[in-house]
Chains A and B, each alone.
Chain A
């Protein structure tokens, strides 16, 4: 046995021992060259070169030669690779191998209205002000081999990885390392290979940033600061982080984005600062392939496909959205779709539940449209080239590292197994039993005390064989590539009789005397040595035997297990947006003639009966009686009402985050940076006649973020959603929310309305100084926060200010007077009726709720007559929603001003159309029905101020984005598509695919705080940083 073990270790571990020069040797020096020649193999050198019957020679961990005519050095150990394939080992460009990724503590960081803020960084030392900015992190310095983890990578075919610390917004440098189990010094191939970024603050416990747009602003500001720091400004001292950031800029820049929209957000930052990110995508890039291709970025794609959900219970299935089921179906098309669009990419094993899924999922990607060539390049040449290590890895060429795989078949074939993965010339066995095809017949000879007994051993696989003597016997058999175990009774069991001791009554048949009584059995074990196996054993009587089994002939395998021809893939279509209510083709602009409607012009003409409106090229072309137009789509308006599209002055839909509440002044953040054009509420609000929405930052702080006016172009991308050619706005807020009333432990200034006023005063005082400094010295540090305030003072940016009580409203206006700007709009403004005269003098618009009141202390004096009084006092009054649900009925909210205070009907309608257009400085484009204006129109079934009014058509830019007919068709389509996918998932379950529990498709509803509506069963009111009203 002892000998056997020694023999085994010699066979299994052909280690090439390495030692560093500087390291003393404890014992006897044992330096070996490790020269091997792999012969007769199909060698895939690169995607463009495959050699048949070729030889690969390695020495000292490097490739010496590759080719069909290479000479084999005399000292080479020759390994016959007949019928085998050799590939370069893969390169994974996205790992944290060998560097620990710090884990975020649950609930740490971020911004919580009820907890004290962490204003400054907890990182000690001369580093950045923000804890999530850590460009000084250096993966090379942290790296140490983790062989258990390396093994999982090696088994999936990887030989080299880029590793970095996945923590923070700026994550420092990554290092290239091999997966060899050697000295750390040898495994480390390239010390500074990449720079890493994300929008996720990771373990930072600092309050700022607390939103996607805050992360974006922080990253942009850091670029500016680093630029400025190059001149060694005395005011900064030594800032190791900014220094490190500058050093990173020459490296490949890798950004972890994790979603198609985040990809685009990241890419915009790169473009702004002259960089080009390599983007780690989210796996759903196929849903916006055009936009993704336009970034011209290289992507890193995970093959982490969503697991199938068990949707058998219809009541559970109901909460799984069509979008989630469709993504399950289409996720594997991602790589193929990118390839078709000529987008370059690498593939990574990152995010997989089990790294072993990598090859399986890669083969699935190929089945779903990825070409094998591209697949191969995306794990070899492409990542190696990006990292500047193609001279070392990524193909099989002389001089490169001996990182290669030996496989049984073409690697992307389902039958293929990786046998060995060599890293730096060192062999790592992946699958020992696959080296020889053991399906063969052997001549088995057992040398028993009584003499030799001959059998034929028919090996059918690693755990199945038959022993054929007089009868055909079924032994217990196992073979792991080296060790063979075999036990059988030479006597075939009788019909109906058991085998072995379990059936005492069964007499041994034929009893080949020497082996005693019933249940005679041989137990054999041995070692495979090429074509001859040999070993020892015992029979039941305890007699020692020896045995040999010699190869006779290979079994001719009839590929009976061949799969039925795979049926062509039947997949759903990508829709825009990728929601149930999305369209395969975006709706198109049309020439339309709306006939014979009651037209509420909002102009001097007032309400016109029996009037026609012609829409052409997205504009209102004509208004009159008995119009006609060739080829125009006719819409009968008889008995119906046509109005300008509704404009919501205060909304929080269609954004990934709303509140950057971590500081009292965050004018640097921009809603535009994080639009979400797939919010189902866009579609729902179209059904209520909304055509434009002003997406505001929340109300968690005094000076909030820059806002974005959008048009509800359902299906457009984030950029096309924007209302083009409007003045920029910014959200301010006063009162309870900004002083964090609900917190018992507030430590963020201000805590009172006195402080709120002073925050404004201070911010603008700083802005004045900043503007002066910039004029004197253009090298002054650019400050995105103050830039926005300077814009306000220069009337380039305008304020909409969340406000409730008269004292704070008055105080705000006085700050504006002092610094020469006006508060363009006061929003909410529920005590506006108390200071309408002052607001009129100041020149503010008012945007209010029709009848909200008494949901917190600062609205105890809110009255439903507010809009009417302000209107009668001569203000430009708007009615807004601030609520994803109510926005669907904003026309009726305007109708309430008729009941509360007797506002004339046409004036009431203007409060949700023309007046918000004026407040937003877009009355030249929208807000009324006038020739030349944008064709943003709604055809109502009834008086638009009435509870009975439904939008029949909602038109934006002359494009019908909503109609009752198309809505009905969409619902039918959703039902059919859900049905198809649910039955497909059912099929997966029956086929035995592992399923996961159905996961409800929760939706986040963002709001600035002032809301109380019931938003549906599977929504989360995600008031980032604002859980009060």
Chain B
């Protein structure tokens, strides 16, 4: 048998022949052995192995070592001078549910009507043909937790892999999380009147935002209390789908993802964990840096939304959002970093982690925040998130540091050992206009 050298997918795009996104195909299942040789391998758990080879068999990682010799006839990718990472994971996203971010209602399927949508399942609307997916793959993102929004309880999220014909192929871990939105404890006022838009006179506002929020929290608690009672009874004359849908939370087969940014919202989430015994995850976590020790003490993990945000208040440290990951790391809180930017459509996940590395994390800790930590939080770390033996071969190979924009070009990507296409509409248009202007 002979070694098959992998070809750059971009080379398929011969100058002047623009292929449409419609002919970017999901890769077929890969049987047999695959070796990525002689690369700088970032395991995802903090370890880095220089000059190492990743050995894959039937889609699973066999080992990462410096002493491996590829079996003859196996597929070999030359990793010399390159970096190998676990596939990146978007921890919470509307990918596949929202096609064009604004202005096109018909392309939106991410928020259902109603308040307690526990039985709503994001996966049923997940569009594997979204044009965003291919672009994300080319930036190293291979898995995503597709999450519904809206209401008090939005529904369940499913982890998908980003190279599939249909949502049933895409599903990686089905319905693993139920998502609840914490009410805000901040009163919405208006500063300096503003002659034009009047956001209402804030001075002397009569509604106590704390009380209003706690009333809503009581509603949520009451829902779960009733669900618990309902689930204790094995048979029902009238089936209640909303209550049925949270069985997994009580059985700890699902996690409760609490979308919360403010300290008080997070304190309520901790209270939920204690009262109902749920596995809780905080999503958002803007102010998590203020209660890192409490989060650690209660074993609550955090999905930090995009780090490229402004500080919460004008007096805050101007770099606070950049520094928060390091605060959580130091306190021992399990956290991942997410990208929810509508303008760039989540393609900057690795740079969000890179910024955290600039402001206090080590590069490998920053990498974990978008790989292994995310996998742990989403409950898929048994099969992905790091390049450890027995896990799925969800791997990216880059020309340089994935965290730094100028060197982060992704050369190859593999999902479950399948080499996936890195082509996308943007590259195709690039080729089309290079052709127009005769640019090499």
Chain A residues with a Cβ under 8 A of chain B: 104, 106, 110, 198-201, 210-212, 215, 258-259, 306-307, 313, 315-316, 318-319, 321-323, 353, 579-581, 657, 680-681, 683-684, 687, 736, 741-742, 833-834, 836-837, 849, 851-857, 860-861, 863-865, 869, 872-873, 883-886, 889, 892, 895-896, 898-899, 901, 905, 908, 943, 945-950, 967, 971, 974, 978, 996-997, 999-1005, 1010-1020, 1022, 1024, 1028-1029
- 15 residue pairs of the A-B complex, CB under 8 angstroms, read A106-B198, A201-B195, A321-B314, A323-B314, A836-B433, A856-B101, A856-B103, A857-B103, A895-B404, A945-B405, A996-B203, A999-B205, A1013-B308, A1017-B312, A1029-B102
Given contacts A687-B319, A736-B103, A997-B208, contact A1014 B406 (CB under 8 A): no
Say yes or no: is B430 at the interface (Cβ < 8 Å to chain A).
yes
Q: Are A857 and B104 neighbours in the complex by a CB distance under 8 Å?
A: yes
CB of B187 within 8 A of CB of A945, answer: no
Q: Which residue of A lies closest to B185 (CB)?
A: A315
Q: How far is the CB of A370 from chain B (nearest CB, A)?
A: 24
B33 CB, min distance to chain A CBs, angstroms: 32
| B152 part of interface (Cβ distance < 8 Å) | no
Query: Is B308 a contact partner of A889 (Cβ separation < 8 A)?
Result: yes
Whether the pair B186, A319 counts as a contact (CB closer than 8 A) is yes
**Nearest CB of chain A from residue B190's CB, rounded to whole Å:** 6
User: B181-199, CB under 8 A of A: which get 1 and which 0?
Assistant: 0000111111111111111
Write out the residue numbers on chain A whose beta carbons fall within 8 Å of the beta carbon of B429: 833, 861, 863, 865
B434 within 8 A of A: yes
Which residues of B are found within 8 Å of A199, using beta-carbon distances?
Answer: 195
Task: Contacts A684-B311, A1000-B187 known; list 9 others, CB within 8 Å.
Answer: A258-B193, A837-B437, A854-B99, A869-B433, A873-B437, A997-B208, A999-B205, A1002-B190, A1014-B340
B406 engages A946 (CB within 8 Å): yes
B348 within 8 A of A: yes
**Using Cβ atoms and an 8 Å threshold, which residues of chain A touch B101?**
854-856, 1012, 1029
B residues in contact with A836, CB < 8 Å: 433, 437
> Chain B's nearest CB lies how many Å from the CB of A765?
31
Give the contacting residue for B426; candidates A863, A873, A884; CB below 8 A.
Answer: A863
Smallest CB gap from A968: residue in B: B317
Task: Report B-chain residues with C-beta under 8 Å of the C-beta of A899.
Answer: 405-409
Q: Is B406's CB under 8 angstroms from A898's CB?
A: yes
Q: A580 to chain B: which residues have CB within 8 Å?
A: 314-315
Enumerate chain A residues within 8 angstroms of B103, measured Cβ to Cβ.
736, 741-742, 856-857, 1028-1029
Give min CB distance, B265 to chain A, whole Å: 10
Rounded to whole angstroms, the CA-CA distance of A947 and B104 in the bound complex is 34
Q: Cβ of B434: which chain A residues have Cβ within 8 Å of it?
A: 869
- Complex contact B286–A1017 (CB within 8 A): yes
Q: How many Å from the CB of A330 to the closest CB on chain B?
A: 16
Q: Write out the residue numbers on chain A whose beta carbons fall within 8 Å of the beta carbon of B341.
A: 1012-1013
In the complex, A83→B286 CA distance in Å?
Answer: 65
Complex: chain B residue closest to A580, CB-CB? B315
Q: In the complex, A857→B107 CA distance in Å?
A: 11
Whether, in the assembled complex, B261 has its beta carbon less than 8 Å from a beta carbon of chain A, the answer is: yes
Q: How far is the CA of A1019 from the CA of B357 in the complex (A)?
A: 27
| Chain A residues whose CB sits within 8 angstroms of the CB of B318 once the complex forms | 581, 683-684, 687, 967
**B430–A863 contact, CB under 8 A?**
yes
Which residue in B196, B197, B262 is a CB contact (below 8 Å) of A1017? Answer: B262
Which chain A residues lie closer than 8 Å to B430 at the CB level? 863, 865, 869, 901
A1020 contacts which of B199, B263, B308, B437 (Cβ < 8 Å)?
B199
Are A855 and B100 closer than 8 Å at their CB atoms?
yes
Q: Are B261 and A1002 in contact, CB atoms less than 8 angstroms apart?
A: no
CA distance A258 to B194 in the complex (A): 10
Q: Contact check, A855 vs B358: say whether CB atoms are below 8 A apart.
A: no
Chain B window 83-106, contacts with chain A (Cβ cutoff 8 Å), 1 for yes, 0 for no? 000000000000000011111100
Question: Contact partner of B187 among A680, A901, A947, A997, CB < 8 A?
Answer: A997
User: Considering only CB atoms, which chain B residue lies closest to A861 in the complex?
Assistant: B429
Expressed in whole angstroms, the Cα–Cα distance for A833 and B436 within the complex equals 10
Contacts of B208 in A (CB 8 A): 997
- Cβ distance B127 to chain A, nearest Cβ, rounded Å: 14
Chain A residues whose C-beta falls within 8 Å of the C-beta of B342 in the assembled complex: 855, 1012, 1029
Most chain A CB atoms below 10 A, which of B102, B311, B348: B102
| Residue of A whose beta carbon sits closest to that of B261 | A1017
Q: Closest CB-CB distance, A599 to chain B, in whole Å?
A: 19
Q: 8 Å CB contacts to A: which residues of B146-196? A: 185-196
B423 part of interface (Cβ distance < 8 Å)? no
Given contacts A892-B351, A899-B409, A1028-B103, contact A1014 B315 (CB under 8 A): no
Q: How far is the CA of A777 from the CA of B352 in the complex (A)?
A: 61
Contact status A1014-B305, CB under 8 Å: yes
Flag if A1019 contacts B310 (CB, 8 Å).
yes
Inter-chain contacts of B313 with A (CB < 8 A): 318-319, 321, 1001, 1016-1018
A999–B318 CA distance with the chains assembled, in angstroms:
22
Given contacts A315-B262, A1014-B306, contact A1001 B354 (CB under 8 A): no
Contact of A201 among B196, B312, B354 (CB under 8 A): B196
A212 / chain B contacts, CB cutoff of 8 Å: 195-196
- Hey, what's the 0/1 contact readout for B405-440 against A, CB within 8 Å counting as 1? 111110000000000000001110110011011010
**A856 cross-chain contacts in B, Cβ below 8 A:** 100-104
CA distance A16 to B275 in the complex (A): 76
| B405 and A1000 form a contact (CB under 8 A) | no
| Given A579-B314, A1002-B189, A1028-B103, A895:B309 Cβ within 8 A | no
**Interface residue? B114 (CB, 8 A):** no
Q: B247 at the A/B interface (Cβ < 8 Å)?
A: no
Contact (A947, B405) CB under 8 Å given A201-B196, A318-B313: yes
Q: Chain A residues with Cβ under 8 A from B312's Cβ? A: 318-319, 1016-1018
A851 touches B347 (CB 8 A): yes
Name the distance in Å between A1019's Cβ and chain B's nearest Cβ: 7
A892 vs B308: C-alpha distance when bound (angstroms): 12
Distance of A1011 Cα from B358 Cα, bound (Å): 24
Would you list which residues of chain B between 307 and 330 have a CB under 8 Å from chain A?
Answer: 308-315, 317-319
The complex places the Cα of A579 from the Cα of B191 at a distance, in Å, of 14
Q: Which residues of B contact A307 (CB under 8 A)?
A: 203
Does B71 lie at the interface of the complex (its beta carbon under 8 Å from any beta carbon of A)?
no
Measured CA separation A321–B407 after assembly (Å): 40
The reply to whether A684 and B310 form a contact with Cβ atoms under 8 Å apart is yes
CB distance from A689 to the nearest CB of B (A): 13
Given A742-B103, A1016-B313, also A947-B204 (CB < 8 A): no
User: Which chain A positions have C-beta within 8 A of B403?
Assistant: 947
Q: Would you give the shortest CB distance from B264 to chain A, in whole angstroms? A: 6
Closest CB of chain B to A668's CB: distance in Å? 17
Q: How far is the CA of A835 from the CA of B366 in the complex (A)?
A: 40
- B355 close to chain A: CB less than 8 A: yes
Interface check B344, CB cutoff 8 A: yes
A1024 touches B102 (CB 8 A): no
Given A948-B358, A1016-B313: A211 and B196 interface contact (C-beta under 8 Å): yes
Residue pair A852, B404 in contact (C-beta under 8 Å): no
CA distance A675 to B408 in the complex (A): 39
B20 at the interface (CB under 8 A from A): no
Least Cβ distance of B19 to chain A in Å? Answer: 15
With A851-B347, A947-B404, A997-B208 known as contacts, the answer to whether A315 contacts B264 (CB < 8 A) is yes
Q: How far is the CA of A1019 from the CA of B427 in the complex (A)?
A: 37
